[in-house]
Structure 1
Amino acid sequence: MDRNRSMDGASSEWRIVLVGKTTSGISTAGNIILGKAAFECKASPNSITKTCAQESGTVHGKRVIVIDTPGVINNVKCQEYIDCELGLCLFKYAPGPHAFVLVLKLHNETKEDVEAVKKIKDLFGQNFLKYTVVLFTCGDRLDKNETIKEYIENKGQKFLKELVLECGGRVHVIDEDWSEENVSRDKERSNSFQIEQLFASIETIVKNNGGHPFKNKQLQDVSWEIKKEAQQLLLMRQSEIDWKELPEKKLKEEEQQIWKKATEMKGERKSCIVF
């Protein structure tokens, strides 16, 4: 039982997991939500976040724990590692998140964007979208007086329209800058206002799910088994070769092979069933 959940199903503290594609602005979104430089983020073509991390704060009167995660379609870590890390966030932050924030960058969506969203949906399973709100970064790219819902309706491709519909119409936008609000900015386009609206959607998610956090026991358990297997394989491999002397490219290849083998040994994880 979630000890933070009251008798009426409300939760005194929300656990919010941020997910998305590498370079979509996941860590930046976390900083904007919390209103502080909680997570490392910088302009880079490579992924900065390699493991799940949490920071907490009080935002618009609500106590929240925000969990930053490495992006899928990762250019630093192999997909098997990323899948495992995402699955383990359910174990690390038990009894589970109250909501997922699916972070996308506001631009013409690519095949990579579609693939990333599909990977995330397949990984977390059938109940994932019931707990999800879509959040776009780079809101400054919207036309003047254009809302994110108008953008989706008028300019979004079928993929985006269907995704937002699957998430119950829960879609929001933030600008790239997480710093203090620009006083000359229109209220409706300010990050403070947008986060307030985001929290209203998360509150709806929490109420719709009776305050119960998201659970996927099979994904959680399999991820833990894969990580243990990978750690054992890594120790064995390190005893065979001088790990520290390996060139970066070779090191990356070795790690990828280890995670692939560990995943194969524990079986494929596709559309894990929620218990």
Structure 2
Amino acid sequence: MDDDGWICTYLFIHSYNVILIVLLGKTGVGKSATGNTILGGKKFRSECGFAAVTSKCEMHKANVAGKTVCVVDTPGFFDSKMKPKDLAEEIGKSVYECRPGPHAFLYVVSLKDRFIKVDEKVIEQIEGLYGKDVAKYTIPLFTHSDQLEGKSVDELIKQNKSLSRFVQQCGGRYHVFNNREQTNRQQVTKLLKLIDGIVAKNKGSYYCNEMYEAAKSSTWSDFFETLKTYFIGARCLLWANPGS
């Protein structure tokens, strides 16, 4: 964990005025740009196109609307440049980066893309990584709102059964970003209010399961040993010990 990670952990323990967020989604949907929009500056490397920019979990923080907001960016699901087990291991590190656990997962979907079957597999993988209760803490976040061409997101959701099902699994909530307008702080303020609603609904708790209990371990070896035990036989993911 880098300095920002330890600072966010300290602030979380000593204050309730902290929001911890993990960004999830396919490669090229705008996760890194979304992190920059939330934090109000170029914290994460972000480029146009569908090539993966993020290959490691990365955390940055900023003061946003009077709160310390910590955002963890993750590699894209189905990143063809990474081996499946390496990809799963790296995404799993998001647990450690924002311990004791995130208040919200933002599952980023590009409005330039269609919510096709591969995205349904992503949902299954999210549940495989974090458990079925993850939906209680997840917000579908749509990027490239400038591509709507007069249509509403509500219309798009109703027209796509897979997308509609996913939004319903997440309590019917979602949010929309235009990352080309990072100076539009209203879209960020609305997102933080949505996250506040999740925190209130979950009685102030962050997301916590076996993996997050493991993340409280003081050593990487204990953390990965618990993860490996959790997944073997129950999940189709393999975890390697650090440094091996």
Same fold, judged at TM 0.5 (above) = yes
1:122-271 residue pairs with structure 2 within 5 A? 122-144=128-150, 146-153=151-158, 155=159, 157-181=160-184, 192-218=185-211, 221=214, 267-270=232-235
Paired with 1:227 and 1:46, the residues of 2 have a C-alpha distance of: 31
RMSD between aligned residues: 3.1
What are the Cα deviations for residues 97-150 of structure 1, in whole angstroms up to 9, with x where unaligned? 111111111132222222222212222112101111110111111133x43223
Q: Is the 8 A contact 1:49 1:69 kept in 2?
A: yes
Give the structure-1-normalised TM-score: 0.71
Q: Which amino acid in the other structure matches residue 194 of structure 2?
A: S
What are the within-5 Å matches in structure 2 for residues 48-59 of structure 1? 48-59=53-64
Change (3 A) 1:212 1:219: closer
Task: Report the Cα offset of residue 217 of structure 1.
Answer: 2.0
Q: 2:22 aligns with which of 7, 10, 17?
A: 17
Query: Could you tell me which residue of structure 2 aligns to residue 118 of structure 1?
Result: 124
What residue in structure 2 maps to residue 4 of structure 1?
Answer: 12
3-state SS, counterpart of residue 215 of structure 1: coil
8 Å Cα contact 1:15/1:65 also seen in 2:
yes
Residue type at the aligned position of 1:68: D
Q: Contact 1:84–1:227 (CA<8 Å) still a contact in 2?
A: no
Q: CA deviation at 1:96?
A: 0.8
**Cα distance in 1 for residues equivalent to 2:27 and 2:153:** 22
Deviation of the 1:41 alpha carbon: 1.2
Q: CA deviation at 1:204?
A: 0.7
Quote how far apart the aligned CAs of 1:271 are. 9.2
Q: Aligned AA for 2:145?
A: G
Superposition pairs for residues 97-116 of structure 1, below 5 Å?
A: 97-106=102-111, 107-116=113-122
Q: Matched residues, percent identical?
A: 31
Query: Which of 54, 73, 76 matches 2:78?
Result: 73
Whole-angstrom distance in 1 between the partners of 2:236 and 2:208: 13
The answer to whether the 8 A contact 1:20-1:71 is kept is: yes
Distance 1:2 1:180, change over 3 A: closer
Structure 2 residues without counterparts, runs of 5 or longer: 1-8, 238-244
Q: What stretches of structure 1 move > 3 A for 4+ residues in a row?
A: 1-6, 178-181, 218-222, 224-229
Give the secondary-structure state (helix, strand or coil) at the position aligned to 1:197: helix
CA contact (8 A) 2:59 2:97 kept: no
1:140–1:176 contact (8 Å) kept in structure 2:
no
**Contact 1:123-1:269 at 8 Å conserved across structures:** no
What is the distance in 2 between the residues matched to 1:267 and 1:80?
Answer: 12
How far apart are residue 269 of structure 1 and its match? 5.0
Distance of aligned partners of 1:196 and 1:218 in 2 relative to their CA distance in 1, 3 Å threshold:
closer
Instruction: Output the CA distance in 1 between the equivalents of 2:81 and 2:19.
Output: 30
Distance 1:30 1:171 in 2: 16
Query: Which has more radius of gyration?
Result: 1
Between 1:38-47 and 1:163-172, the stretch displaced more is 38-47
